């Protein structure tokens, strides 16, 4: 149980998600349950201020035909289902100011959560500006795009209802009262524009609806007048997204108020002029465009935590058409506060609160669905998709499928298996398929949860772990690790051999940092000759740190070679963190991202070993034959080549990097990770794009330029029809290929298990798949 004496961190800065306010000061309707929750939360003085600053609203509803302005229906009074206190209509900004009254010294503005980490003492929030805050408990009230939710419950995604709305305000002026129908300014009014008959063949019988309400404040010339704005008409224009006709590649946040206002007038082009006047006279600085998302009312329970919870839209976004979203969020906050005050913070008490929250929110989501169905033809929840998971068009899916199937089908197929996942910067999966078999006998179908040796793709995880260690203050990138790792203290530099074959060695005099490079013995004839001379049996693939104990081939900082730098970085982390690399990665990377099937030691995990994919070799005749994996079982956690993982786990890692490292490290650390690291790119060009065209370079177009990052290669220019400049890519010996394009916001992973490295069939299919993906998403740059 966490000590309540420590601070509770509320991401979003307000009670029940209310602080996730928009810049616009729109009205809020609080029914009896919401009013009760608010009254329980506020002091008597603030409750009086709330009541005195609410608008003088009359309960009732009028429905009007948008085309001719005729009244369809009208009735006074509110819903008979109302409970508790009378309903209140208030201004969002006014209420927000009341909620923060007395808390000014507890609120930090301009902060954006990047990730959080749990500790024995509680939780630490990391912000995008590099600062942190510590507390005993974290409340994610950061709205429907919640970073806290993405890390805590990555699978708990809102659904796209296919509704889109424009929020707006129109000041109540003399011109408005002269032009706008008086019958529409009495109470809540719905302006309804039905879909013409033939158009229903394409978009069903859905309406364009304008919901509006006059927000008038009774000025009494007292102390409360200072808190209220001028009178205005609140309105929201809602329809299915197909009616708006907006391009998919432009985020709603990019539209200016003027552009949104113009869009509202375009949608109402055929309306009665008097009705349309409310849009003509709108305050364009207050107009905003919003996609209507909703949680599924039947939310699945999750394992509660005594370190974090999520509330409000972060947990249960809902359509505004029910008018109960704010009420639900406010009730969340009040109930959570009561739970903490009476039961403390334990997994049990938080779990009980979350169960009540899901039940209460679920009922209100169903109410909102009924309103959404009537106002814009909201689809049933089982027909809604997750907006954070863009998908390839069906025609492109079929072609990607064909590319993959062609590699694995038939008697003499080029590959025995192929897995491919494409993910985007909203942690959504664009494509994920697995074809072929785990074994050459083709008796066991492969899937995305089968275990692969990922070889040098391990370097990505180790580089991330290194940056996390740097963030924790355990080490710096430029620190001399010869003073940390005993094995590196006495390294020699190999300068050649005497005529009799004796190695010519001299002492290394330069410091070795986490940026300094080594060379793999398997890639250097001189090191192999040295090993034979001294009788060394351990090598890169024997799975021990001793396998990397061989001389340097140049002074650190005075050359470059592809080698064991990440293996020694991993060993450095083990020493400064006081734990093996597996434990460090599990705590700081795998568990936060839900990567449950990644390990250096599959031989100690029967649940994983039974899912291991059989490694194939391509014989000289081009056919696949069964071969022994050159790596393992390993005695040490080798950070350059030693990981076994699943395609699904590695896709989660790529998705985290696309989201600026959320859940595991800061954006600043990610920027460093993805930055070129060599002062002379000619090293890179000679190795990757030179005449020998190392297998890493076989996926690069001829003439490409680039450099090396801490664990990846980085292209300096666009790849035509493929990834943008400054993208990173990784490869693993047995046909593992991954790329990360932060500019376009997508990443891809191809896996198989085939040696030797640089197989032509593998590199060709990887490039073909990437080109197909960019036919759809290249325009997003």
Average pLDDT rounded to a whole number, residues 219-224: 66
Q: What is the mean pLDDT of residues 197-219?
A: 72
Residue range 176-185: mean pLDDT, rounded: 89
Read off the pLDDT of residues 459-482 as tens digits, 9 standing for 90 and up: 999 999 999 999 999 999 989 988
Tell me what pLDDT residue 547 has.
Answer: 81
- pLDDT digits 0-9 by tens, 373-428: 888 888 888 887 766 444 554 445 677 888 898 899 877 789 999 999 999 875 57
Confidence of residue 79 (pLDDT cuts 50, 70, 90): low
Q: What is the tens place of the pLDDT at every residue in 652-699? A: 999 999 988 877 988 899 999 998 877 666 666 666 554 444 555 678
Q: Answer for the pair 144, 161: CB distance below 8 angstroms, yes or no.
A: no
Question: In degrees, to the nearest 5, what angle opens at C-alpha 724 toward C-alphas 723 and 727?
Answer: 80
The pLDDT > 90 percentage for the chain reads 27
What is the model's pLDDT at position 516? 66
Higher-pLDDT residue of 598 and 72 is 598
Task: For residue 71, give every residue at least 6 positions away whose Cβ sits within 8 Å of its Cβ, in sequence order, or none.
Answer: 62, 63, 64, 65, 183
Cα–Cα distance between 210 and 278 in angstroms, integer? 10
pLDDT score for 375: 81
Indicate if the pLDDT at residue 26 is higher than 60. no
DSSP state, residue 495: E
Q: Please tell me the predicted confidence (pLDDT) of residue 301.
A: 92
**756: preceding bond cis by omega (within 30 degrees):** yes
pLDDT given at position 740 = 96
For 140-166, how does the pLDDT look when each residue is reduced to its tens digit (9 = 90+)? 988 877 888 878 887 788 888 888 888
Question: If you average pLDDT over each of 229-233, 433-437, 768-772, which comes out highest?
Answer: 433-437
Model pLDDT, residue 648: 95
Whether residue 34 has pLDDT greater than 70: no
pLDDT band at 569 (very low <50, low <70, confident <90, very high): very high
Q: Any idea where the domains of the chain sit in the sequence?
A: 8-383, 462-582
Q: Give the integer Cα–Cα distance in Å for 429 and 388.
A: 8
C-alpha triplet 285, 288, 292: angle, nearest 5°: 170
- The reply to whether the predicted model has a pTM over 0.75 is no
272 to each of 113, 213, 240, 265, how far by Cα in Å?
46, 18, 21, 12
Distance of CA 484 to the CA centre of its chain: 36
CB half-sphere exposure, 704, CA atoms < 13 A: 28
Please report, rounded to a whole number, the percentage of residues in the chain having pLDDT higher than 70: 85
- pLDDT the model gives residue 254: 73
Residue 777 confidence (pLDDT) = 64
Confidence check: pLDDT of 741 > 70: yes
696 vs 307: CA distance, rounded Å: 43
Residue by residue, DSSP assigns 447-487 as: -TTSBEE-GGGHHHHHHHHHHHHHHTTS--TTS-GGGT-GG
Q: Which fold has domain 8-383?
A: FAD/NAD(P)-binding domain (3.50.50)
- φ, ψ (nearest 5 deg) of residue 129: -85, 5
**Cα–Cα–Cα angle for 244, 248, 250, nearest 5°?**
95
Q: What pLDDT digit, counting tens, does each position of 100-143 carry?
A: 777 677 777 777 887 788 888 889 888 877 788 889 999 998 88
501-541 confidence digits (pLDDT tens): 999 999 888 888 877 666 665 667 888 888 888 888 877 77
More confident residue, 573 or 678: 573
- Indicate if the pLDDT at residue 728 is higher than 50: yes
CB of 317 closer than 8 Å to CB of 324 = no
Mean pLDDT, the chain, rounded, equals 82
β-strand partners of 345: 2
Do the Cβ atoms of 287 and 298 come closer than 8 Å? no
Q: What is the predicted pLDDT for the residue at 19?
A: 32
Whether residue 338 has pLDDT greater than 50: yes
What local confidence, expressed as pLDDT, does residue 549 receive? 84
């Amino acid at each position: 149980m966490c000590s309540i004496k420590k601070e509770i961190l509320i991401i979003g800065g307000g009670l029940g998600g209310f602080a996730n306010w928009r810049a616009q000061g729109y009205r809020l309707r609080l029914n009896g349950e919401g009013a009760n929750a608010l009254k329980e939360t506020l002091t008597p003085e603030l409750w009086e201020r709330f009541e005195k600053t609410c608008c003088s609203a009359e309960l009732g509803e009028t429905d009007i035909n948008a085309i001719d302005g005729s009244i369809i229906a009208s009735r006074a009074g509110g819903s008979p289902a109302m409970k508790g206190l009378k309903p209140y209509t208030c201004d969002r900004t006014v209420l927000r100011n009341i909620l923060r009254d007395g808390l000014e010294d507890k609120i930090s503005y301009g902060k954006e959560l990047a990730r959080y980490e749990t500790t024995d003492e509680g939780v630490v929030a990391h912000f995008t500006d590099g600062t942190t805050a510590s507390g005993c408990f974290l409340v994610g009230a950061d709205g429907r795009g919640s970073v806290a939710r993405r890390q805590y419950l990555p699978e708990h995604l809102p659904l796209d209802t296919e509704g889109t709305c424009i929020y707006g305000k129109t000041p109540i002026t003399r011109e408005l009262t002269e032009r706008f129908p008086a019958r529409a300014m009495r109470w809540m009014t719905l302006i309804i524009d039905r879909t013409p008959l033939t158009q229903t063949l394409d978009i069903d019988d859905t309406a364009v609806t304008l919901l509006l309400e006059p927000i008038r404040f009774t000025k009494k010339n007292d102390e409360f007048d200072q808190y209220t704005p001028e009178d205005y008409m609140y309105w929201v224009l809602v329809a299915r997204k197909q009616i708006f006709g907006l391009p998919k590649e432009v985020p709603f946040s990019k539209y200016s108020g003027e552009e949104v206002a113009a869009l509202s007038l375009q949608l109402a082009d055929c309306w009665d002029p008097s009705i349309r006047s409310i849009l003509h006279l709108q305050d364009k600085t207050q107009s905003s465009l919003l996609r209507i998302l909703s949680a599924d009312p039947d939310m699945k329970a999750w394992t509660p935590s005594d370190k974090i919870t999520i509330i409000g839209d972060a947990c249960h976004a809902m359509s505004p058409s029910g008018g109960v979203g704010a009420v639900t969020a406010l009730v969340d906050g009040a109930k959570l506060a009561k739970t903490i005050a009476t039961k403390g913070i334990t997994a049990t008490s938080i779990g009980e609160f979350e169960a009540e929250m899901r039940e209460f929110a679920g009922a209100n989501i169903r109410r909102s669905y009924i309103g959404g169905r009537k106002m814009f033809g909201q689809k049933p929840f089982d027909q809604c998709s997750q907006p954070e998971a863009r998908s390839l068009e069906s025609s492109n899916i079929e072609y990607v499928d064909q590319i993959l199937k062609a590699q694995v089908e038939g008697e003499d197929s080029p590959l025995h298996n192929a897995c491919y996942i494409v993910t985007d910067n909203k942690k959504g999966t664009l494509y994920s398929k697995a074809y072929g078999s785990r074994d050459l006998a083709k008796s066991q179908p492969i899937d995305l949860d089968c275990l692969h040796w990922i070889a040098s793709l391990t370097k990505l995880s180790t580089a991330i772990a290194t940056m996390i260690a740097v963030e924790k203050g355990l080490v710096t990138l430029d620190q001399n690790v010869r003073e940390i790792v005993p094995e590196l203290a006495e390294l020699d530099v190999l300068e050649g051999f005497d005529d009799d074959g004796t190695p010519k060695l001299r002492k290394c005099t330069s410091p070795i940092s986490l940026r300094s490079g080594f060379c793999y013995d398997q890639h250097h004839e001189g090191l192999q000759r040295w090993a034979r001379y001294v009788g060394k049996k351990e090598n890169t693939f024997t799975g021990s740190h001793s396998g990397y104990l061989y001389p340097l081939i140049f002074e650190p900082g005075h050359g470059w070679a592809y080698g064991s730098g990440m293996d020694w970085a991993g060993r450095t982390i083990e020493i400064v963190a006081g734990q093996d690399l597996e434990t460090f990665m599990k705590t700081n990377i795998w568990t936060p991202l839900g990567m449950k099937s990644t390990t250096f030691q599959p031989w100690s995990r029967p649940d994983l070993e039974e899912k291991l994919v059989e490694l194939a070799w391509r014989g000289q005749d081009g056919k696949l034959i069964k071969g022994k994996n050159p790596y393992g079982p390993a005695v040490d956690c080798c950070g350059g080549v030693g990981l076994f993982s699943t395609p699904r786990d590695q896709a989660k890692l790529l998705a985290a990097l696309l989201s600026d490292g959320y859940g595991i490290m800061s954006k600043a650390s990610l920027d460093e990770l993805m930055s070129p690291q060599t002062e002379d790119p000619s090293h890179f060009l000679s190795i990757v794009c030179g005449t020998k065209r190392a297998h890493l370079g076989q996926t690069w177009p001829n003439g490409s330029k680039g450099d090396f990052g801490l664990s990846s290669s980085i292209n300096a220019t666009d790849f035509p029809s493929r990834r943008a400049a400054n993208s990173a890519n990784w490869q693993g010996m047995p046909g593992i290929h991954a790329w990360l394009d932060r500019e376009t916001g997508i990443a891809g992973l191809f896996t198989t298990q085939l040696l030797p490295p640089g197989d032509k069939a593998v590199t060709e299919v990887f490039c073909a798949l990437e080109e197909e993906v960019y036919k759809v998403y290249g325009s997003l740059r």
